[in-house]
A = this chain, B = another copy of it.
């Protein structure tokens, strides 16, 4: 993969995603304007666009074209952003800052933050129904909607947040921590890659391999996130470093130490690349993204 230019790939795909997000989000002055302002405030606050880029790379890995899956790519970013807005609410994690800016409820109030999240989740499902790739096989939509709903719902992200909240301030087992990470983070990253593979026209074996790779990549991503929270600075993370520890959130390094956490992330990413190997060159972007997840500094 040494000849794959990941920086250029990320820049190009990110520009595609940002332009598409700008297009699919209602304008600031479209009534009801307040909620649309709130939705744009959080979605367009920057961010790595990792999940939408994984949708695109998942499609490319099976021969799909980026432009055919852009609405689905946006959908993943909207679901991710909705979860951040709701997680940050006073009744949940009560966070004032996210990506270096005030959180939605600090700017727009709690009611509007709840509604902006609700609006983003709903818009995401509208977007997945409208991908050019579906013209090839409209039956795929059923699997795409199911994958997304499973990843976002109580057996996915919502479930992870439930257990996370119920675990705060308690001593939790490594099994519970893995449950939280798998559901809160890995489920959506798995769905991103799986949805990309489905829309890209992948057969059942490729869709399963890419989905499994996504789950492991998601878990690695969260372990690295935990490590960065221990080691990072406000400047690099856009949130206060050590904030997990202060809130008594269990993290991978807290339970296993930094060196073992790093080894586990490396082991997972090696597994991701092994799963992708049979797909050959078209999966090079996914493989490079897996390295990036491991090596990222923010």
What residues make up the interface of A, taking CB atoms closer than 8 Å to B? 26, 31-32, 34-36, 39, 86, 89, 91-92, 109-112, 114-115, 117-119, 121-123, 125-126, 128-130, 134, 138-139, 141-142, 145-146, 148-150, 152-155, 158-159, 161-163, 165-166
Contact = CB atoms under 8 A, between A and B. Distances in A.
B154 A125 contact: no
Given A125-B145, A145-B126, A163-B32, A114 B86 contact: yes
A126 B154 CA distance: 12
Contact of A92 (B31, B111, B141): B111
A35 B111 contact: no
A150 B36 CA distance: 14
A158 B129 CA distance: 20
Residue from A115, A122, A130 with most neighbouring chain B CB atoms (10 Å):
A122
User: What is the predominant secondary structure among interface residues of chain A facing chain B?
Assistant: helix
B145 A32 contact: no
A128 B153 CA distance: 14
* Chain multiplicity (copies): 2
Contacts of A35: 154, 158-159, 162
Contacts of A150: 126
A126 B114 contact: no
A119 B26 CA distance: 24
B123 A154 contact: yes
B36 A154 contact: yes
A158 B118 contact: yes
Nearest to A121: B121
Contact of A146 (B26, B91, B126, B158): B126
Nearest to A112: B162
Q: Which of A118, A130, A148, A163 gathers most chain B CB within 10 Å?
A: A118
A104 to B, nearest CB: 12
A161 B158 CA distance: 23
Nearest to A126: B149
Nearest to A161: B115
Contact of A125 (B32, B115, B149): B149
A130 B92 CA distance: 32
Nearest to A32: B162
A23 to B, nearest CB: 16
Most chain B CB inside 10 Å of its own CB: which residue of A32, A86, A149: A32
Contact of A162 (B115, B121, B126, B148): B115
A89 B112 contact: no
Contacts of A146: 126, 129-130
